[in-house]
Structure 1
Amino acid sequence: MKGWEFSWGPVSNPDGSTIFTLWAPTQARVSVAIDSRQVPMDRADDGWFSVTETLTDGADYWFVLVDGTRVPDPASRRQSAGVLGPSRLWGSDFNWKVPWKGRPWEEAIIYEIHIGTFTAEGTFAAAEKHLHRLAELGVSAVQIMPLAQFPGTRGWGYDGVYPYAPHNSYGSPDDVKSFVDEAHRYGLMVFLDVVYNHFGPEGNFLPLYAAEFFRKDDPTPWGPKIAFEREPVRRFFIDNAIYWLDQFRFDGLRFDAVDQIEIRATFTY
């Protein structure tokens, strides 16, 4: 979406610098660790921390909490070492080749793909080579099962922990974009399955610095329910949806278990 300003995750400036942000309302201090440096972040009254630094694409970083605990960015764009490793900067200068305007929804004949099992290699690059076969079958859309970084190397994807980071075993963010671009070349729409109702059990550090992200009294079948009534929490997922649609050119999103997504509102009469 043109002109959209992301609240979560690293944001690149025209001068090549990067703005790092984190909502950590339970923390008095947060730093960003880059190589051997720790750069203090500025804290706002609403619990947001931010700092601007100049790094190159591919640089790794952590957020450092008051007690010295290092945590990845919850809106990390890439987790090359898995859910317990550092976050990695990844640029958005992919060279799109196909001028795609979409196609009517009523033409959708959907083929669901699990990237990890669709080919022997289990990668986006390998899956891309078979898209022409789907188009020849009469398929007009592919739906990618959840790709957000989850623990381990293989899984269904429904225990994702980093919703902005394509799973490292499937390939890089640019590999995902190349897959979408190639699908569009064959006239295929591409939809992404997203999980906005819970986080996986391993690698979710949000409770350490943003306990208000979750409700304590109303769990889902898979873990604590997300507190969508809080604006920073809603923004986390709104940013994510726009991220996939705008920067990766997905044609749409499929939402998992929407019955577990709700906003508690208090009305005064």
Structure 2
Amino acid sequence: MSSIKVKGAQLHKKGCRFTVWAPHADEVYVVGTFNGWDKTAHPMTGRKNGEWVADIAGAKAGNEYRYRILNGDQELMRIDPRARRVTDSTGNAIIRDPKSIAGMVPFTPPPMNEMIIYELHIGTFGKEEGEDGPGTLSGAIRHLPYLCELGVNVIEIMPLAEFAGGYSWGYNPAHIFAVESDYGRPREFRKFVDEAHKLGLSVVVDVVYNHFGPDDLQLWQFDGWSKNDMGGIYFYNDWRAKTPWGHTRPDYGRPQVRDFIRDNALMWLCEYSVDGLRWDMTSYIRNVHGRDGDTGSDIHEGWTLMQEITHEIRKQRPGAINI
């Protein structure tokens, strides 16, 4: 059973419970299709730990929503950082029905010494002749038998968390809990995993935790607070923020950010039943400059976060691939 923290939008029989971390907010509201986008209809209750909570009767799967965050004279309309589905990288969060991805096809990955790995980009591999736009998960499913003919037994999917625009390799994640909307819905990724398993193919997902964004990054100064005009609560706000991709390195020392990354890793494994994770550029998680032997630039909490997540993966999903 997954031990993912219960945050974001959680459906129940009478509606939906919303939880968001915004420690510097003065007021927070949930606005969406369930209240006609009324800015004041559903205020959230603040907790001492910086979280805000609201339970909204009648909210249901498929409803779109945002958080309205007030901080001084700032009014911020934010997409839920833990949204499992979004309209697009700059649009709205969508309440996802967990039943839409329920169930699993029993599967055991091949031994490590027998793995033949194929790195796959959904936007390219899932492209159908004559169709506009990037490839899709549905298109990729139709091409899976080709991989079997090649003799492949493990698929490593390049990052498929929601990114800016429709065309990307995926190493610019904007919303790490949401499946890229141009590729398809969460249930279509679940179907991709199940169909791959039926054909004897393991599925490994590429995850990016050394930086977020930098484009379409709703996490940036999420609740209106920042230091040194940097990223705010989800990021380092000093020299440690710098990466080759922008000043958007997550703050691995904040417990809430550690939970955010940990829960995301477990989401792919426990909710979508993928067989493993491939971590992108871990050298930039453990060292500001991505170097070995540069102890003055080491990020100790980055090291410990990776260790803790690895331990949790072994506990939650024994035998999962962790690259």
Calculate the TM-score normalised by the size of structure 1: 0.91
Report the counterpart of residue 114 of structure 1 in structure 2.
Answer: 121
Determine if contact 2:16/2:56 at 8 Å carries over to the other structure. Answer: yes
- Structure number having the greater helix percentage: 2
Match of 1:40 in 2: 43
Partner of 1:100: 107
Residue 51 of structure 1: CA displacement?
1.4
In the TM superposition, 1:1-269 aligns within 5 A as 2-13=1-12, 15-35=13-33, 36=36, 37=38, 38-54=41-57, 55-66=59-70, 67-80=74-87, 82-93=88-99, 94=101, 96=103, 98-121=105-128, 122-206=135-219, 207-209=221-223, 211-217=232-238, 218=240, 219-224=242-247, 225-262=249-286, 263-264=299-300
User: By how many angstroms is 1:264 displaced?
Assistant: 4.4
Q: Decide whether the 8 Å contact of 1:8 with 1:239 is kept in 2.
A: no
Distance of aligned partners of 1:3 and 1:251 in 2 relative to their CA distance in 1, 3 Å threshold: closer
What amino acid maps onto 1:83 in structure 2?
S
Which amino acid letter does the alignment assign opposite residue 234 of structure 2?
A: F
For the residues of structure 1 that align with 2:213 and 2:136, how far apart are their CA atoms?
Answer: 22
- Relative distance call for 1:95 and 1:24 in structure 2 (3 A) is closer
Residue matched to 2:132: none
TM-score of the pair, normalised by structure 2: 0.77
Q: How many angstroms apart in 1 are the aligned matches of 2:255 and 2:218? A: 19
State the SS of the aligned residue for 1:213: coil
Moved more, 90-99 or 149-158: 90-99
| Paired letter, 2:245 | W
Aligned-residue CA RMSD (Å): 1.7
> Offset at 1:120?
2.4
Rounded to whole Å, the distance in 2 between the matches of 1:97 and 1:214 is 35
> How far apart, CA to CA, are the structure 1 residues paired with 2:94 and 2:164?
17
**Counterparts of 2:110 and 2:11 in 1: how far apart (Å)?**
32
TM-superposed deviation, 1:233 = 0.2
Identify which range, 57-66 or 129-138, moves more after superposition.
129-138
Cα displacement (A) at 1:180: 0.4
Q: Is the 8 A contact 2:174 2:218 kept in 1?
A: no
Question: Which amino acid in the other structure matches residue 222 of structure 1?
Answer: W
- Give the SS at the match of 1:139: coil
Runs of 4+ in 1 over 4 A off after TM superposition: none
**AA in 1 matched with 2:27:** R
* Aligned partner letter, 1:261: I
Q: What is the letter of the counterpart of residue 65 of structure 1?
A: I
Q: CA deviation at 1:16?
A: 4.6
Identity among equivalent positions (%) equals: 37
Number of aligned residue pairs: 262
The farther-off stretch of 15-24 and 63-72 is 15-24
